């Protein structure tokens, strides 16, 4: 093999290349619609540890106080949305999660073992576990 041999990759896309690109784009669009649901939620399920504390309608204004191993978590329901308002955990990841409004969304406070799960007409998950 000569020393100055270089591989040239300067070819223009062929019809087969374009078919692969278009087929890939269609596949991504179909999978996005299939696996990402943005359906509105109608109910909130609250768990503390392995127990379901309650299921609440999201069409109300309510503040709930749930006791966990570290202390009390405050959950707010308002206008079809729910969120952790306050929690005794050190990092506050659950509070920073913000408002949840779509079916299948979840916010979990692992240190305090409290979780919120929004449910709609059809559920994306069978169950929620720690």
**pTM, full prediction:** 0.66
How far is 72 from 29, CA to CA, in rounded Å?
43
Structural domain count of the chain: 1
* CATH code, domain carrying 57: 2.60.320.10
DSSP per-residue letters across 38-64? -PBP-EEEEEETTEEEEEEESSS-EEE
Domain-embedded: residue 28: no
Asked whether residue 38 is assigned to any structural domain, the reply reads no
> Is residue 95, in this structure, part of any structural domain at all?
yes
Q: What is the pLDDT of residues 39-91, one digit of tens each?
A: 788 899 999 988 999 999 999 999 999 999 999 999 999 999 999 999 999 99
Residue 60 has a pLDDT of 92
Confidence check: pLDDT of 122 > 80: no
Reply yes or no on whether the pLDDT at 20 is more than 80. Answer: yes
């Amino acid at each position: 093999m000569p020393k100055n041999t270089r591989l040239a990759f300067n070819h223009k896309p062929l019809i087969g290349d374009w078919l692969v690109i278009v087929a890939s784009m269609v596949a991504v669009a179909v999978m996005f619609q299939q696996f990402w649901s943005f359906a509105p939620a109608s109910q909130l399920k609250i768990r503390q540890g392995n127990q379901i504390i309650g299921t609440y309608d999201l069409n109300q204004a309510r503040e709930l106080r749930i006791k966990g191993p570290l202390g009390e978590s405050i959950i707010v329901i308002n206008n079809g949305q729910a969120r952790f308002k306050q929690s005794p955990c050190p990092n506050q990841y659950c509070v920073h999660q913000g408002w949840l409004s779509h079916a299948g969304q979840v916010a979990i406070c692992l240190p305090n073992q409290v979780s919120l799960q929004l449910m709609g007409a059809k559920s994306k998950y069978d169950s929620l576990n720690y």
